[in-house]
Amino acid sequence: MQKAKVASKTPFAVEVEANKNYAWCSCGESENQPFCDGKHKGSEFSPVLIKFEEAKTVYFCGCKQTKNSCLCDGTHKAL
């Protein structure tokens, strides 16, 4: 299994909109962090698609090593 590139050692705080689709970059290569820009093509990674029921601030994982889907779980602190 390939290891994702650490795009950032801290999470990205994003004000998400209700019921909008977001595609989180899981490979770490996107230049549009924390979201997918298609650079995973040809790798074994694919973006994580997520939608939120309400508008709120969400902390998307930037280190790409989280075990909590696409959200920061504190793993970056150990990098």
With contacts defined by CB under 6 A, how many residues of the chain interact with ligand FES? 12
Q: Is 75 in the site for ligand FES (CB under 6 A)?
A: yes
Contact residues for 3 (Cβ-Cβ < 8 A; gap 6+): none
Burial readout 48-75 (b: 16 or more C-beta within 10 A, e: otherwise): bebeeeeeeebbbbbbbbbeeebebeee
Q: Is 73 in the site for ligand FES (CB under 6 A)?
A: yes
Q: Is 7 in the site for ligand FES (CB under 6 A)?
A: no
CA angle 17, 31, 26 (to 5 degrees): 70
Q: Is 23 in the site for ligand FES (CB under 6 A)?
A: no
Q: Is 63 in the site for ligand FES (CB under 6 A)?
A: yes
CB of 59 to ligand FES, least distance (A): 7
Residues near ligand FES (CB under 6 A) are: 10-11, 61-63, 65-66, 72-76
